[in-house]
Structure 1
Amino acid sequence: MPAVARPALPRAPYVDDNLLCRAQPLPAVVQHLTGEAWKLDDKGVSTVLMEGMVIDEQESVKTSPSAFVSLLLGDGSRIVLPSSSQVRLHLVEEQAIPQVILEQGQVEAYVIKRASDYDRFQIVTPVGVLGVRGTHFRVRNDGEQSVVEVLNGQVAVNRDETPPTTKPVKKKPVVGPVAGEVKVGARQGLVFKKQGELKPVELLDPPTLVGQDGQKGDAPVWTLFLRPLPGAQRYRAQVATDKEFMNIKQENFSSKPQMSFTGLKASFYHVRLSAYDEQGLEGATGVYDIFYYPPATRVQQTSGG
Protein backbone atom coordinates (compact mmCIF):
# COMPACT_ATOMS: atom_id res chain seq x y z
CA MET A 1 0.00 0.00 0.00
CA PRO A 2 1.55 3.37 -1.00
CA ALA A 3 2.61 5.77 1.72
CA VAL A 4 0.29 8.68 2.39
CA ALA A 5 1.73 12.12 3.15
CA ARG A 6 0.50 13.55 6.44
CA PRO A 7 0.29 17.30 7.06
CA ALA A 8 2.97 18.77 9.30
CA LEU A 9 2.06 20.49 12.53
CA PRO A 10 2.57 24.27 12.29
CA ARG A 11 5.29 25.84 14.42
CA ALA A 12 4.56 29.00 16.34
CA PRO A 13 6.44 32.17 15.30
CA TYR A 14 9.41 33.14 17.44
CA VAL A 15 10.97 36.40 18.65
CA ASP A 16 14.55 37.08 17.52
CA ASP A 17 17.31 39.08 19.24
CA ASN A 18 15.88 42.33 17.85
CA LEU A 19 12.49 41.55 19.41
CA LEU A 20 10.93 40.96 15.99
CA CYS A 21 8.30 38.29 15.52
CA ARG A 22 9.40 35.99 12.70
CA ALA A 23 7.94 33.00 10.90
CA GLN A 24 9.56 29.60 11.38
CA PRO A 25 11.53 28.45 8.29
CA LEU A 26 10.10 24.92 8.42
CA PRO A 27 8.03 23.28 7.17
CA ALA A 28 8.70 24.00 3.49
CA VAL A 29 6.19 23.71 0.66
CA VAL A 30 6.73 22.31 -2.85
CA GLN A 31 6.23 25.40 -5.00
CA HIS A 32 7.02 24.03 -8.48
CA LEU A 33 7.64 20.55 -9.86
CA THR A 34 8.72 19.40 -13.32
CA GLY A 35 9.18 15.68 -13.92
CA GLU A 36 9.17 12.93 -11.30
CA ALA A 37 10.39 13.34 -7.73
CA TRP A 38 9.75 11.83 -4.30
CA LYS A 39 9.34 12.82 -0.68
CA LEU A 40 11.07 10.57 1.87
CA ASP A 41 10.00 10.58 5.51
CA ASP A 42 12.40 10.21 8.46
CA LYS A 43 12.29 6.41 8.02
CA GLY A 44 13.06 6.55 4.30
CA VAL A 45 9.54 5.68 3.13
CA SER A 46 8.91 7.40 -0.22
CA THR A 47 5.85 9.20 -1.55
CA VAL A 48 5.41 10.60 -5.05
CA LEU A 49 6.03 14.34 -4.80
CA MET A 50 3.32 16.82 -5.78
CA GLU A 51 3.07 20.60 -5.87
CA GLY A 52 1.69 21.97 -2.61
CA MET A 53 3.08 19.08 -0.56
CA VAL A 54 4.64 19.96 2.81
CA ILE A 55 8.25 18.94 3.64
CA ASP A 56 9.12 19.08 7.33
CA GLU A 57 11.92 18.33 9.78
CA GLN A 58 14.03 15.27 8.85
CA GLU A 59 12.12 14.72 5.61
CA SER A 60 13.86 14.55 2.24
CA VAL A 61 13.22 15.38 -1.40
CA LYS A 62 14.76 13.34 -4.23
CA THR A 63 14.60 14.19 -7.94
CA SER A 64 14.77 11.88 -10.96
CA PRO A 65 17.31 12.43 -13.79
CA SER A 66 14.93 14.81 -15.60
CA ALA A 67 13.17 16.59 -12.73
CA PHE A 68 13.31 20.04 -11.12
CA VAL A 69 11.81 20.98 -7.74
CA SER A 70 11.57 24.33 -5.95
CA LEU A 71 10.77 24.56 -2.24
CA LEU A 72 9.47 27.64 -0.44
CA LEU A 73 10.47 27.89 3.23
CA GLY A 74 8.29 29.51 5.85
CA ASP A 75 10.60 32.53 6.17
CA GLY A 76 10.49 33.23 2.41
CA SER A 77 13.79 31.57 1.48
CA ARG A 78 13.72 29.25 -1.55
CA ILE A 79 15.77 26.27 -2.67
CA VAL A 80 15.82 24.63 -6.10
CA LEU A 81 16.85 21.04 -6.77
CA PRO A 82 17.90 20.12 -10.31
CA SER A 83 17.93 16.57 -11.67
CA SER A 84 19.43 13.63 -9.73
CA SER A 85 19.64 15.50 -6.43
CA GLN A 86 18.55 14.81 -2.86
CA VAL A 87 18.33 16.99 0.26
CA ARG A 88 17.12 16.47 3.81
CA LEU A 89 15.69 19.30 5.92
CA HIS A 90 16.75 19.91 9.51
CA LEU A 91 15.97 22.66 12.00
CA VAL A 92 18.17 23.83 14.87
CA GLU A 93 15.20 24.60 17.12
CA GLU A 94 16.90 26.86 19.66
CA GLN A 95 17.91 29.50 17.08
CA ALA A 96 15.42 28.47 14.35
CA ILE A 97 18.30 27.89 11.91
CA PRO A 98 17.17 25.90 8.85
CA GLN A 99 19.71 23.38 7.59
CA VAL A 100 19.62 21.71 4.19
CA ILE A 101 21.67 18.51 4.22
CA LEU A 102 22.88 17.91 0.66
CA GLU A 103 22.97 14.13 0.25
CA GLN A 104 23.30 13.96 -3.53
CA GLY A 105 23.69 16.28 -6.51
CA GLN A 106 23.19 20.03 -6.31
CA VAL A 107 21.04 22.68 -4.67
CA GLU A 108 20.57 26.35 -5.52
CA ALA A 109 19.49 28.62 -2.67
CA TYR A 110 17.89 32.07 -2.47
CA VAL A 111 18.10 33.03 1.20
CA ILE A 112 16.21 35.80 2.97
CA LYS A 113 18.58 38.14 4.82
CA ARG A 114 19.19 37.23 8.46
CA ALA A 115 19.70 39.80 11.19
CA SER A 116 22.22 38.30 13.65
CA ASP A 117 25.63 36.66 13.38
CA TYR A 118 24.36 33.19 14.29
CA ASP A 119 20.78 33.26 13.00
CA ARG A 120 21.47 32.01 9.51
CA PHE A 121 20.62 29.46 6.86
CA GLN A 122 23.04 26.54 6.47
CA ILE A 123 23.87 23.98 3.79
CA VAL A 124 25.55 20.85 5.15
CA THR A 125 27.76 18.80 2.79
CA PRO A 126 29.92 15.71 3.47
CA VAL A 127 33.02 17.92 3.79
CA GLY A 128 31.75 21.06 5.48
CA VAL A 129 29.03 23.51 6.44
CA LEU A 130 28.09 26.67 4.55
CA GLY A 131 26.42 29.45 6.52
CA VAL A 132 24.67 32.48 5.04
CA ARG A 133 22.54 35.41 6.13
CA GLY A 134 21.11 36.50 2.79
CA THR A 135 22.45 35.48 -0.59
CA HIS A 136 22.01 33.54 -3.84
CA PHE A 137 24.38 30.61 -4.26
CA ARG A 138 24.80 27.06 -5.58
CA VAL A 139 26.27 24.02 -3.82
CA ARG A 140 26.93 20.53 -5.15
CA ASN A 141 28.63 17.32 -4.10
CA ASP A 142 31.28 16.18 -6.56
CA GLY A 143 32.89 12.93 -5.43
CA GLU A 144 35.28 13.56 -2.52
CA GLN A 145 34.78 17.31 -2.66
CA SER A 146 32.06 19.93 -2.50
CA VAL A 147 31.69 23.02 -4.65
CA VAL A 148 30.12 26.39 -3.79
CA GLU A 149 29.49 29.26 -6.20
CA VAL A 150 28.20 32.57 -4.83
CA LEU A 151 26.21 34.80 -7.17
CA ASN A 152 25.06 37.43 -4.66
CA GLY A 153 25.93 38.06 -1.02
CA GLN A 154 28.45 36.03 0.96
CA VAL A 155 28.84 32.44 2.18
CA ALA A 156 30.94 31.31 5.15
CA VAL A 157 32.56 27.89 4.63
CA ASN A 158 33.66 25.81 7.61
CA ARG A 159 34.72 22.18 7.25
CA ASP A 160 35.02 21.54 10.99
CA GLU A 161 31.36 21.26 11.98
CA THR A 162 29.65 17.90 12.41
CA PRO A 163 26.55 17.21 10.29
CA PRO A 164 23.33 17.11 12.34
CA THR A 165 21.81 13.86 13.54
CA THR A 166 18.16 12.96 13.86
CA LYS A 167 18.34 13.80 17.57
CA PRO A 168 17.96 17.46 18.58
CA VAL A 169 21.15 18.91 20.02
CA LYS A 170 21.21 22.15 21.97
CA LYS A 171 24.18 24.31 21.06
CA LYS A 172 25.10 27.78 22.15
CA PRO A 173 24.98 30.29 19.30
CA VAL A 174 28.32 31.18 17.78
CA VAL A 175 28.88 34.93 17.57
CA GLY A 176 31.72 36.55 15.63
CA PRO A 177 34.47 34.93 13.53
CA VAL A 178 34.81 31.15 13.57
CA ALA A 179 38.24 29.49 13.50
CA GLY A 180 38.97 27.98 10.09
CA GLU A 181 36.04 29.75 8.44
CA VAL A 182 36.54 31.18 4.94
CA LYS A 183 34.28 33.83 3.39
CA VAL A 184 33.30 33.40 -0.26
CA GLY A 185 32.01 36.63 -1.79
CA ALA A 186 29.79 37.49 -4.74
CA ARG A 187 30.95 36.08 -8.11
CA GLN A 188 33.45 33.84 -6.32
CA GLY A 189 33.65 30.07 -6.04
CA LEU A 190 35.41 27.49 -3.90
CA VAL A 191 36.25 23.81 -4.30
CA PHE A 192 36.74 22.34 -0.84
CA LYS A 193 37.80 18.93 0.42
CA LYS A 194 38.27 17.51 3.91
CA GLN A 195 41.87 18.69 3.79
CA GLY A 196 43.82 21.36 1.96
CA GLU A 197 43.75 25.13 1.55
CA LEU A 198 40.42 26.92 1.23
CA LYS A 199 41.01 29.58 -1.41
CA PRO A 200 38.11 31.30 -3.23
CA VAL A 201 38.60 32.19 -6.91
CA GLU A 202 36.75 34.48 -9.31
CA LEU A 203 33.95 32.90 -11.35
CA LEU A 204 33.77 33.02 -15.13
CA ASP A 205 31.62 35.68 -16.75
CA PRO A 206 28.37 34.46 -18.33
CA PRO A 207 28.51 33.36 -21.98
CA THR A 208 26.76 35.48 -24.61
CA LEU A 209 23.88 34.19 -26.73
CA VAL A 210 24.59 35.02 -30.39
CA GLY A 211 21.89 33.10 -32.26
CA GLN A 212 19.24 30.40 -32.33
CA ASP A 213 17.71 27.98 -34.79
CA GLY A 214 14.80 25.58 -34.99
CA GLN A 215 14.36 22.25 -36.75
CA LYS A 216 11.06 20.80 -37.87
CA GLY A 217 9.80 17.34 -37.06
CA ASP A 218 7.58 15.36 -34.72
CA ALA A 219 9.77 16.65 -31.85
CA PRO A 220 10.98 20.11 -32.92
CA VAL A 221 14.54 20.98 -31.88
CA TRP A 222 15.49 24.40 -30.55
CA THR A 223 19.22 25.14 -30.75
CA LEU A 224 21.04 27.98 -29.00
CA PHE A 225 24.40 29.28 -30.22
CA LEU A 226 26.81 30.92 -27.76
CA ARG A 227 29.95 32.95 -28.27
CA PRO A 228 32.95 30.83 -27.14
CA LEU A 229 34.11 32.00 -23.71
CA PRO A 230 37.84 31.95 -22.85
CA GLY A 231 38.53 29.46 -20.06
CA ALA A 232 35.19 27.66 -20.43
CA GLN A 233 35.34 23.85 -20.38
CA ARG A 234 31.59 23.24 -20.46
CA TYR A 235 28.38 25.22 -20.91
CA ARG A 236 24.97 25.02 -19.24
CA ALA A 237 21.57 26.36 -20.32
CA GLN A 238 18.31 26.29 -18.36
CA VAL A 239 14.84 27.11 -19.68
CA ALA A 240 12.18 28.35 -17.25
CA THR A 241 8.74 29.93 -17.43
CA ASP A 242 9.50 32.48 -14.68
CA LYS A 243 12.30 35.03 -14.33
CA GLU A 244 13.25 33.72 -10.86
CA PHE A 245 13.90 30.23 -12.32
CA MET A 246 11.72 28.52 -9.75
CA ASN A 247 9.82 26.68 -12.50
CA ILE A 248 12.58 25.17 -14.66
CA LYS A 249 11.36 23.08 -17.58
CA GLN A 250 14.59 21.80 -19.13
CA GLU A 251 18.35 22.14 -18.90
CA ASN A 252 21.24 21.01 -21.05
CA PHE A 253 25.02 20.76 -20.85
CA SER A 254 27.55 20.82 -23.68
CA SER A 255 31.31 20.94 -24.17
CA LYS A 256 30.65 23.09 -27.25
CA PRO A 257 29.13 26.60 -27.22
CA GLN A 258 25.78 25.37 -28.49
CA MET A 259 23.01 23.21 -27.07
CA SER A 260 19.60 21.95 -28.11
CA PHE A 261 16.21 21.40 -26.48
CA THR A 262 13.33 19.23 -27.67
CA GLY A 263 9.67 18.97 -26.75
CA LEU A 264 9.14 22.57 -25.65
CA LYS A 265 5.81 24.15 -26.46
CA ALA A 266 5.41 27.57 -28.03
CA SER A 267 5.75 30.05 -25.19
CA PHE A 268 7.70 32.95 -23.71
CA TYR A 269 10.74 31.51 -21.92
CA HIS A 270 13.58 32.78 -19.75
CA VAL A 271 16.91 31.21 -20.73
CA ARG A 272 19.83 31.19 -18.26
CA LEU A 273 23.37 30.59 -19.52
CA SER A 274 26.58 29.80 -17.62
CA ALA A 275 29.98 28.17 -18.15
CA TYR A 276 32.32 25.95 -16.11
CA ASP A 277 36.03 26.60 -15.62
CA GLU A 278 38.88 24.07 -15.39
CA GLN A 279 38.19 23.48 -11.67
CA GLY A 280 34.57 22.60 -12.40
CA LEU A 281 33.23 25.86 -10.94
CA GLU A 282 30.08 27.12 -12.64
CA GLY A 283 30.29 30.82 -13.39
CA ALA A 284 27.97 33.80 -13.27
CA THR A 285 24.72 33.61 -15.22
CA GLY A 286 23.26 35.59 -18.09
CA VAL A 287 19.49 35.58 -18.65
CA TYR A 288 17.69 36.07 -21.97
CA ASP A 289 13.94 36.44 -22.54
CA ILE A 290 12.89 34.62 -25.70
CA PHE A 291 9.57 33.80 -27.34
CA TYR A 292 9.99 30.32 -28.80
CA TYR A 293 7.70 29.17 -31.56
CA PRO A 294 8.41 25.66 -32.87
CA PRO A 295 8.67 25.59 -36.68
CA ALA A 296 5.64 23.93 -38.25
CA THR A 297 6.07 20.68 -40.11
CA ARG A 298 4.87 20.95 -43.66
CA VAL A 299 2.46 18.26 -44.80
CA GLN A 300 3.41 16.97 -48.22
CA GLN A 301 0.39 16.83 -50.49
CA THR A 302 0.02 14.11 -53.09
CA SER A 303 -2.32 14.29 -56.06
CA GLY A 304 -4.39 11.36 -57.21
CA GLY A 305 -4.03 9.87 -60.69
Structure 2
Amino acid sequence: MMYNDEVLGISSILSENRRTRPNQFLGASLCPFCLENASEIEIVRNAIVTEEGDKIQIVNNKYPACSEEGIVYGIHDVIIETQDHHKKPEHFTKVHWKVLLQVIRDRWITLSKMPRIHFVQVFKNEGERAGASIGHPHSQIIALEEVPCTIEEHYKKMEAYFRQTNKCRICKEIEDKDLSVLEQDGWQLCVPEGASVPYETWIIPKKHISNIGQMDEADLEALAYITEQAIKMNRQMLGEISYNMCFMNGRYEQDEHYHFFIKILPRTGQFAGFELATGCTINVVNPKTQKDIMKKYLLDLKGGL
Protein backbone atom coordinates (compact mmCIF):
# COMPACT_ATOMS: atom_id res chain seq x y z
CA MET A 1 0.00 0.00 0.00
CA MET A 2 1.01 3.65 -0.34
CA TYR A 3 1.26 5.63 2.89
CA ASN A 4 1.04 9.43 2.72
CA ASP A 5 1.47 11.36 5.97
CA GLU A 6 1.02 14.97 4.89
CA VAL A 7 1.65 16.26 8.42
CA LEU A 8 5.07 14.64 8.69
CA GLY A 9 5.77 14.95 4.95
CA ILE A 10 6.41 11.22 4.57
CA SER A 11 5.40 8.94 1.67
CA SER A 12 6.19 5.23 1.43
CA ILE A 13 5.13 2.25 -0.69
CA LEU A 14 4.84 -1.26 0.70
CA SER A 15 5.99 -3.71 -1.99
CA GLU A 16 7.19 -7.00 -0.50
CA ASN A 17 7.88 -8.62 -3.88
CA ARG A 18 10.69 -6.09 -4.48
CA ARG A 19 12.63 -7.98 -1.81
CA THR A 20 13.03 -10.95 -4.18
CA ARG A 21 14.40 -9.02 -7.18
CA PRO A 22 17.77 -10.29 -8.43
CA ASN A 23 21.04 -8.48 -7.90
CA GLN A 24 22.95 -9.24 -11.06
CA PHE A 25 26.17 -7.43 -11.91
CA LEU A 26 27.63 -10.72 -13.14
CA GLY A 27 27.74 -10.28 -16.91
CA ALA A 28 25.64 -10.81 -20.01
CA SER A 29 25.23 -14.59 -19.66
CA LEU A 30 22.89 -14.15 -16.67
CA CYS A 31 21.37 -10.79 -17.56
CA PRO A 32 17.57 -10.89 -18.12
CA PHE A 33 17.75 -7.80 -20.35
CA CYS A 34 20.09 -9.34 -22.95
CA LEU A 35 18.60 -10.74 -26.17
CA GLU A 36 19.81 -14.29 -25.55
CA ASN A 37 17.79 -14.31 -22.35
CA ALA A 38 14.69 -12.74 -23.92
CA SER A 39 12.40 -15.34 -22.35
CA GLU A 40 12.96 -13.55 -19.05
CA ILE A 41 11.25 -10.44 -20.42
CA GLU A 42 7.54 -10.63 -19.70
CA ILE A 43 5.91 -8.04 -21.98
CA VAL A 44 7.51 -5.77 -24.56
CA ARG A 45 5.75 -2.42 -24.53
CA ASN A 46 7.67 -0.81 -27.36
CA ALA A 47 10.75 -1.43 -29.48
CA ILE A 48 12.70 1.03 -31.61
CA VAL A 49 15.83 0.36 -33.64
CA THR A 50 18.26 3.29 -33.64
CA GLU A 51 20.35 4.29 -36.65
CA GLU A 52 23.23 2.27 -35.20
CA GLY A 53 21.09 -0.88 -35.33
CA ASP A 54 20.60 -1.06 -31.58
CA LYS A 55 17.22 -1.68 -29.94
CA ILE A 56 15.42 0.10 -27.10
CA GLN A 57 12.56 -1.73 -25.40
CA ILE A 58 9.97 -1.00 -22.73
CA VAL A 59 8.97 -4.03 -20.67
CA ASN A 60 6.99 -4.72 -17.53
CA ASN A 61 9.09 -4.76 -14.38
CA LYS A 62 9.09 -8.35 -13.14
CA TYR A 63 9.34 -7.10 -9.53
CA PRO A 64 7.12 -3.99 -9.60
CA ALA A 65 6.65 -1.47 -6.82
CA CYS A 66 3.03 -1.14 -7.99
CA SER A 67 0.65 -2.93 -10.38
CA GLU A 68 -2.82 -2.74 -11.89
CA GLU A 69 -3.92 -5.66 -9.68
CA GLY A 70 -1.92 -4.98 -6.50
CA ILE A 71 -2.68 -3.05 -3.33
CA VAL A 72 -0.77 -0.06 -4.75
CA TYR A 73 -2.39 0.75 -8.09
CA GLY A 74 0.02 1.75 -10.82
CA ILE A 75 2.36 0.64 -13.58
CA HIS A 76 6.08 -0.05 -13.26
CA ASP A 77 8.04 -0.19 -16.53
CA VAL A 78 11.68 -0.88 -17.34
CA ILE A 79 13.28 0.83 -20.35
CA ILE A 80 16.07 -1.37 -21.70
CA GLU A 81 18.26 1.34 -23.21
CA THR A 82 20.40 -0.90 -25.43
CA GLN A 83 20.74 -4.56 -26.33
CA ASP A 84 24.50 -4.33 -25.78
CA HIS A 85 25.15 -5.31 -22.17
CA HIS A 86 28.52 -3.56 -22.14
CA LYS A 87 27.51 -0.27 -23.79
CA LYS A 88 27.36 2.31 -21.00
CA PRO A 89 25.44 5.63 -21.21
CA GLU A 90 28.67 7.57 -21.74
CA HIS A 91 29.04 5.59 -25.01
CA PHE A 92 25.57 6.54 -26.31
CA THR A 93 25.63 8.79 -29.37
CA LYS A 94 23.43 11.84 -29.78
CA VAL A 95 21.20 9.76 -32.09
CA HIS A 96 20.84 7.08 -29.44
CA TRP A 97 19.94 9.65 -26.77
CA LYS A 98 17.32 11.22 -29.03
CA VAL A 99 15.58 7.91 -29.70
CA LEU A 100 15.71 7.03 -26.01
CA LEU A 101 14.20 10.40 -25.07
CA GLN A 102 11.46 9.92 -27.70
CA VAL A 103 10.60 6.54 -26.17
CA ILE A 104 10.48 8.09 -22.70
CA ARG A 105 8.35 11.04 -23.88
CA ASP A 106 5.81 8.86 -25.69
CA ARG A 107 5.47 6.42 -22.81
CA TRP A 108 5.15 9.26 -20.30
CA ILE A 109 2.27 10.72 -22.33
CA THR A 110 0.53 7.33 -22.64
CA LEU A 111 0.73 6.66 -18.91
CA SER A 112 -0.27 10.22 -17.98
CA LYS A 113 -3.46 9.94 -20.05
CA MET A 114 -4.66 6.86 -18.16
CA PRO A 115 -7.75 7.76 -16.07
CA ARG A 116 -6.47 6.46 -12.72
CA ILE A 117 -2.88 7.69 -13.07
CA HIS A 118 -2.05 11.02 -11.41
CA PHE A 119 1.73 10.91 -11.16
CA VAL A 120 4.46 9.52 -13.45
CA GLN A 121 8.14 9.45 -12.44
CA VAL A 122 10.96 8.67 -14.87
CA PHE A 123 14.31 7.85 -13.29
CA LYS A 124 17.60 6.11 -13.94
CA ASN A 125 19.76 4.31 -11.36
CA GLU A 126 23.20 3.84 -12.87
CA GLY A 127 25.49 1.66 -10.76
CA GLU A 128 25.04 -0.31 -7.56
CA ARG A 129 25.49 2.68 -5.25
CA ALA A 130 22.66 4.43 -7.08
CA GLY A 131 20.27 1.53 -6.37
CA ALA A 132 20.57 -0.48 -9.61
CA SER A 133 20.16 -4.25 -9.17
CA ILE A 134 21.08 -5.16 -12.78
CA GLY A 135 24.14 -3.85 -14.59
CA HIS A 136 22.59 -3.71 -18.08
CA PRO A 137 21.84 -0.03 -18.93
CA HIS A 138 18.20 0.72 -18.17
CA SER A 139 15.81 3.34 -16.81
CA GLN A 140 12.46 2.97 -15.09
CA ILE A 141 9.03 4.59 -15.08
CA ILE A 142 6.64 4.36 -12.14
CA ALA A 143 3.08 5.61 -12.70
CA LEU A 144 0.91 5.97 -9.60
CA GLU A 145 -2.71 6.65 -8.73
CA GLU A 146 -1.63 8.75 -5.74
CA VAL A 147 0.84 11.63 -5.76
CA PRO A 148 3.53 11.29 -3.06
CA CYS A 149 2.98 14.06 -0.50
CA THR A 150 6.54 15.34 -0.92
CA ILE A 151 5.88 15.87 -4.65
CA GLU A 152 2.48 17.43 -3.96
CA GLU A 153 4.19 19.90 -1.65
CA HIS A 154 6.84 20.53 -4.32
CA TYR A 155 4.09 21.40 -6.84
CA LYS A 156 2.35 23.72 -4.36
CA LYS A 157 5.54 25.60 -3.53
CA MET A 158 6.44 26.06 -7.19
CA GLU A 159 2.98 27.52 -7.82
CA ALA A 160 3.13 29.72 -4.73
CA TYR A 161 6.52 31.11 -5.79
CA PHE A 162 5.11 31.99 -9.20
CA ARG A 163 2.08 33.73 -7.72
CA GLN A 164 4.23 35.74 -5.33
CA THR A 165 6.92 36.80 -7.81
CA ASN A 166 5.19 36.43 -11.20
CA LYS A 167 8.25 34.41 -12.20
CA CYS A 168 9.03 30.69 -12.45
CA ARG A 169 11.57 29.44 -9.90
CA ILE A 170 13.44 27.40 -12.51
CA CYS A 171 13.47 30.31 -14.98
CA LYS A 172 15.26 32.24 -12.21
CA GLU A 173 17.85 29.44 -12.07
CA ILE A 174 18.45 29.85 -15.80
CA GLU A 175 19.05 33.58 -15.40
CA ASP A 176 21.94 32.93 -12.99
CA LYS A 177 24.73 32.84 -15.58
CA ASP A 178 27.32 32.46 -12.80
CA LEU A 179 26.38 28.77 -12.49
CA SER A 180 25.90 27.93 -16.17
CA VAL A 181 28.19 25.17 -17.46
CA LEU A 182 26.94 24.76 -21.04
CA GLU A 183 24.27 26.42 -23.18
CA GLN A 184 23.14 24.89 -26.47
CA ASP A 185 20.09 25.38 -28.71
CA GLY A 186 17.69 26.56 -26.02
CA TRP A 187 18.96 24.30 -23.22
CA GLN A 188 21.22 24.93 -20.27
CA LEU A 189 23.38 22.61 -18.20
CA CYS A 190 23.95 24.30 -14.86
CA VAL A 191 24.91 23.76 -11.25
CA PRO A 192 21.89 24.50 -9.03
CA GLU A 193 22.53 27.22 -6.46
CA GLY A 194 21.46 24.85 -3.68
CA ALA A 195 23.11 21.69 -5.03
CA SER A 196 22.29 18.89 -2.60
CA VAL A 197 25.27 16.66 -3.43
CA PRO A 198 28.75 17.30 -4.88
CA TYR A 199 28.68 17.65 -8.70
CA GLU A 200 24.89 17.70 -9.00
CA THR A 201 23.79 19.25 -12.30
CA TRP A 202 20.46 20.23 -13.85
CA ILE A 203 19.49 20.18 -17.52
CA ILE A 204 16.85 22.86 -18.13
CA PRO A 205 14.98 24.06 -21.23
CA LYS A 206 15.16 27.84 -21.57
CA LYS A 207 11.62 27.98 -22.89
CA HIS A 208 8.99 27.38 -20.22
CA ILE A 209 7.53 23.89 -20.65
CA SER A 210 6.04 21.99 -17.73
CA ASN A 211 6.70 18.38 -18.78
CA ILE A 212 8.48 16.16 -21.27
CA GLY A 213 5.21 15.57 -23.13
CA GLN A 214 5.31 19.15 -24.44
CA MET A 215 8.61 18.64 -26.27
CA ASP A 216 8.77 18.60 -30.05
CA GLU A 217 11.43 16.92 -32.18
CA ALA A 218 13.72 19.98 -32.15
CA ASP A 219 13.57 20.05 -28.35
CA LEU A 220 14.51 16.37 -28.17
CA GLU A 221 17.37 16.87 -30.64
CA ALA A 222 18.89 19.63 -28.51
CA LEU A 223 18.24 17.77 -25.24
CA ALA A 224 19.95 14.67 -26.67
CA TYR A 225 23.13 16.66 -27.38
CA ILE A 226 23.36 18.34 -23.98
CA THR A 227 22.57 15.06 -22.18
CA GLU A 228 25.30 13.27 -24.15
CA GLN A 229 27.79 15.98 -23.16
CA ALA A 230 26.74 15.96 -19.49
CA ILE A 231 27.09 12.19 -19.10
CA LYS A 232 30.45 12.06 -20.89
CA MET A 233 31.73 14.99 -18.81
CA ASN A 234 30.74 13.27 -15.56
CA ARG A 235 32.45 10.06 -16.64
CA GLN A 236 35.66 11.90 -17.51
CA MET A 237 35.57 14.01 -14.36
CA LEU A 238 34.41 11.51 -11.72
CA GLY A 239 35.37 8.16 -13.22
CA GLU A 240 33.10 5.13 -13.09
CA ILE A 241 30.81 6.53 -10.44
CA SER A 242 27.19 5.61 -9.72
CA TYR A 243 24.55 8.29 -10.30
CA ASN A 244 20.82 8.92 -10.44
CA MET A 245 19.03 10.76 -13.22
CA CYS A 246 15.57 12.12 -12.35
CA PHE A 247 13.07 13.62 -14.80
CA MET A 248 11.13 16.32 -12.93
CA ASN A 249 7.76 16.84 -14.63
CA GLY A 250 4.64 18.81 -13.92
CA ARG A 251 1.35 17.00 -14.36
CA TYR A 252 -0.05 16.31 -17.82
CA GLU A 253 -1.98 19.31 -19.24
CA GLN A 254 -1.66 21.07 -15.86
CA ASP A 255 0.90 22.95 -13.80
CA GLU A 256 1.61 25.89 -16.08
CA HIS A 257 3.63 27.20 -13.13
CA TYR A 258 5.94 24.17 -13.26
CA HIS A 259 9.14 24.03 -15.33
CA PHE A 260 10.51 20.69 -16.54
CA PHE A 261 14.11 19.83 -15.70
CA ILE A 262 16.41 16.82 -15.29
CA LYS A 263 18.55 16.28 -12.21
CA ILE A 264 21.80 14.30 -12.42
CA LEU A 265 22.95 13.26 -8.95
CA PRO A 266 26.36 11.54 -8.66
CA ARG A 267 26.69 9.22 -5.65
CA THR A 268 29.94 10.71 -4.37
CA GLY A 269 29.12 9.99 -0.73
CA GLN A 270 26.49 8.46 1.55
CA PHE A 271 23.55 9.93 3.40
CA ALA A 272 24.13 9.73 7.14
CA GLY A 273 22.06 10.41 10.25
CA PHE A 274 21.74 14.17 9.83
CA GLU A 275 20.53 13.89 6.23
CA LEU A 276 18.08 11.10 7.05
CA ALA A 277 16.71 12.94 10.09
CA THR A 278 16.31 16.38 8.54
CA GLY A 279 16.13 15.90 4.77
CA CYS A 280 18.90 18.51 4.60
CA THR A 281 22.07 17.36 2.84
CA ILE A 282 25.64 18.51 3.40
CA ASN A 283 27.48 19.47 0.21
CA VAL A 284 31.28 19.73 0.46
CA VAL A 285 31.80 21.33 -2.99
CA ASN A 286 31.03 25.00 -3.62
CA PRO A 287 28.71 25.26 -6.68
CA LYS A 288 30.84 28.04 -8.23
CA THR A 289 33.99 25.94 -7.85
CA GLN A 290 32.12 22.98 -9.35
CA LYS A 291 31.05 25.07 -12.36
CA ASP A 292 34.66 26.06 -13.11
CA ILE A 293 35.82 22.43 -12.84
CA MET A 294 33.04 21.24 -15.17
CA LYS A 295 33.79 23.91 -17.77
CA LYS A 296 37.40 22.74 -17.88
CA TYR A 297 36.37 19.12 -18.40
CA LEU A 298 33.90 20.11 -21.12
CA LEU A 299 36.67 21.96 -22.98
CA ASP A 300 38.92 18.90 -22.69
CA LEU A 301 36.06 16.70 -23.91
CA LYS A 302 35.41 18.86 -26.97
CA GLY A 303 39.12 18.90 -27.72
CA GLY A 304 39.08 15.11 -27.83
CA LEU A 305 36.13 14.85 -30.21
TM-score by length of 2: 0.28
Return the index of the structure with the highest Cα Rg.
Answer: 1
TM-score by length of 1: 0.28
More strand, by proportion: 1
* Greater relative contact order structure (CA < 8 Å, 6+ sep): 2
